[in-house]
Structure 1
Amino acid sequence: MDWKSKIRDIPDFPQPGILFRDITPLLADGPMYHAAIAHLADFAKTLQVEVVMGPEARGYVVGAPLAHHLGVGFVPVRKKGKLPAETVSVEYQLEYGTDVLEIHKDALRPGQRVLVADDLLATGGTIGATVELARKLGGQVVGAAFFIELQALRGRDKLKGIAIEALAQYS
């Protein structure tokens, strides 16, 4: 499938010199969006995934329908202070500074097979923090699924030992 035909390039967004890969055309095309989720679900089935985790906000548009397709639960990963019950948190590095992600303390069972999902694998900071959250609760992260991978940013290096699937790869 030609996934890149539904990913729009937007130069100089959000700042000059950045080429933004926009997935909204893929999301707007029902059959293509369905095919993307089905493709990632086929990958996840080989890993015997029991739950999907996705960071806000675009991780939800990949992770939640993927969990639904697989018939498993979805664990939302949120920014600090957004979840109502007791949480565990991870601080992670951004390009300029740090941020914090959280999940509910009871979101996973020890040993549960976890797939992390997001729209984009770039430097691996957000998804690496998501993996760390899963492991803090005893989850076994067996896979990671993305619509896009920006290979030059080497995010894969932060996911050693985890099976990875990306629909579209850009060097």
Structure 2
Amino acid sequence: MFAAENGLRGDPRLQGISKAIRVVPDFPIPGIMFQDITTLLLDHKAFKDTVDIFVDRYRDMGISVVAGIEARGFVFGPSIALAIGAKFVPLRKPNKLPGEVISEAYVLEYGTDRLEMHVGAIEPGERALVIDDLVATGGTLSAAVRLLERMGAEVVECACVVGLPEVRGQRRLDGKPLYILVEPRLSVNY
């Protein structure tokens, strides 16, 4: 579900968020229009509006865990977790966490990867939100859902700042709702 379809249609914050995201052509490979959120982070108002919209949505949903996907999910996740009174759990790439971990493999457009989480970071029955900056194919988010559910969490929803238009038809990943703030801009800005 896109934010504009959920009572935020015409909300000027969404336009500001979209405008604050820089589009970089042919990165990391030719043909990709990269949605660079680092410029969103430089815009205090747009960054705050992004976090505020997520907080408003999740404040009263009984979420006890915000799981952020490395690395850009780490930018939004801790602020959301603090504001809604939840803990933040990082979902990391392989070999980044010390101690005992559980991992989940997933397929990318150009290979495979894994997400890892500390064993014991989640208690069975906890209600979780998965956060990342962008959803394309949904492979990473689906791996995050599987990882959390293997530890006994109830994944309430997945949330991303940017979602590709193709995702609009899916609306759900592994049976979980997907909440997206804005669609990608295809025009270049620097």
Same topology, TM > 0.5: yes
5 Å-filtered alignment, 1:1-171, equals 1=13, 2=15, 3-152=17-166, 156=170, 159-170=173-184
The number of aligned residues is 171
SS at match of 1:49: coil
Could you tell me whether the CA contact under 8 Å between 1:124 and 1:158 is conserved in 2?
Answer: no
Q: If the length of structure 2 is used for normalisation, what is the TM-score?
A: 0.83
Q: Distance in 2 between matches of 1:39 and 1:156?
A: 22
Q: How far did residue 120 of structure 1 move?
A: 0.5
SS at match of 1:83: coil
SS at match of 1:133: helix
Could you tell me whether the CA contact under 8 Å between 1:122 and 1:155 is conserved in 2?
Answer: no
Q: How far did residue 95 of structure 1 move?
A: 1.4
Q: Greater strand share, 1 or 2?
A: 1
SS at match of 2:175: coil
Q: Distance in 2 between matches of 1:38 and 1:94?
A: 31
Q: How far did residue 146 of structure 1 move?
A: 1.0
Q: Distance in 2 between matches of 1:166 and 1:22?
A: 16
- After TM superposition, the structure 1 stretch with the greater mean CA deviation from structure 2, 155-164 or 84-93, is 155-164
Q: Distance in 2 between matches of 1:96 and 1:167?
A: 26
Q: What is the aligned-residue RMSD (CA, Å)?
A: 1.8
Structure 2 unaligned runs (5+)? 1-12, 186-190
Q: Which amino acid aligns with 2:152?
A: G
Q: How far did residue 169 of structure 1 move?
A: 1.7
CA deviations on 1:96-147 (whole Å, 9 max, x unpaired) are 2211111011010101000000000111111111111100000000011111
Q: If the length of structure 1 is used for normalisation, what is the TM-score?
A: 0.92
CA deviations on 1:67-122 (whole Å, 9 max, x unpaired) are 12212110001111211121111111111221111101101010100000000011
- % identical aligned pairs: 44
